[in-house]
Amino acid sequence: MTSFPRSPRTQRGAIVGIDPFNPVASLVVFQYNPDTMTRTLTPQMSGDGGDRSEALRLKGAPVESIRVEVEIDATDQLANGDATATHMGIYPQLSALEMLVYPKSAQVILNTVLMSVGMLEVVPPAAPLTLFIWGPKRVLPVKVSEFTITEEAFDPNLNPIRAKVSLGLRVLSYNDLPLAHPGYALFLTHQVVKEAMAVVGSVNGVATASLPR
């Protein structure tokens, strides 16, 4: 059974770590979009301390966490004779995800050298700006808060060829980032889009409620 030829092509979600020195080091387009995505929003209220006059004031955007499970499978590539999958399985894809939470080795080496020559204060390396992309309306700056990899099958050289990756992400809002940081503008844009979607949803809700039953 074939699908309708004019049906829109499903876009794929992605995780992107933006590193100016190696732009493709942490670019992972989901092979299969997760079936579910769990989002938890915790409001930030000024009145949490008990002041009645501040009970309904918001201190900023809610703290949002996202949980997704991503499947990575080299079965089709192996069947098609893909050279990368044949020699390395899905190890490269897993490595690209893992690089989101590793400091760059060059920075580690530099800091080690600086400490060995007596530098008293060494600045910890910064993680790359990480974006969670879920369609054109949701491009979010995030940091990885939890990362679990379950490798389920291996080739003769013990390269993983099938795995599930559980990702816990913490959305970074304008409360978390300095004004000049590109993630600040990205999150603000995300909120503006969300406000527009809320208007559409409210108008549709009123229209639906007014229909005769």
- As averages over each run of 10 residues, the pLDDT of the chain (213 residues) reads 59 87 76 94 77 74 95 94 95 92 84 82 80 94 94 96 96 95 94 94 75 67
The whole-angstrom separation of Cα 16 and Cα 141 is 10
- CA nearest 132: which of 121, 140, 120? 140
Give the model's pLDDT for residue 67. 97
Short-list 66, 58, 60, 74, CA closest to 41: 66
DSSP states along 166-204: EEEEEE--TTTS-TTSHHHHHHHHHHHHHHHHHHHHHHH
pTM over 0.75: yes
Structure tokens at 213: 């039953």
Measured CA angle at 119 (ends 116, 122), to 5 deg? 100
- Non-local (6+) Cβ contacts of 24 within 8 A are none
